[in-house]
Amino acid sequence: MPTIFILFGFRFLFYANDHEPIHVHVIKGDISAKFLLSPVELVENHGLKPSEIKMAESVIEENREIIAEHWNKFFNNNK
């Protein structure tokens, strides 16, 4: 589970066996959500409150390039 960064207690990560399109998982304790990267869109929500979803979306928007960079670097190096 490559972690991209941790902000506000949430881990932003992807799984080693993830698939395209590029997306990011947001996890804190036993709650989680999955967001597409482009456009930033909530795909799954398992317990995040609306305010947490908005915060995660903002973080993803602001760091979209970094997330895509990590995704491409990881998956291109592990083929």
Give the pTM: 0.92
At 38-70, the pLDDT tens digits run 999 999 999 999 999 999 999 999 999 999 999
At 3-41, the pLDDT tens digits run 999 999 999 999 999 999 999 999 999 999 999 999 999
d(CA 75, CA 59): 22
Neighbours of 49 (CB within 10 A): 10
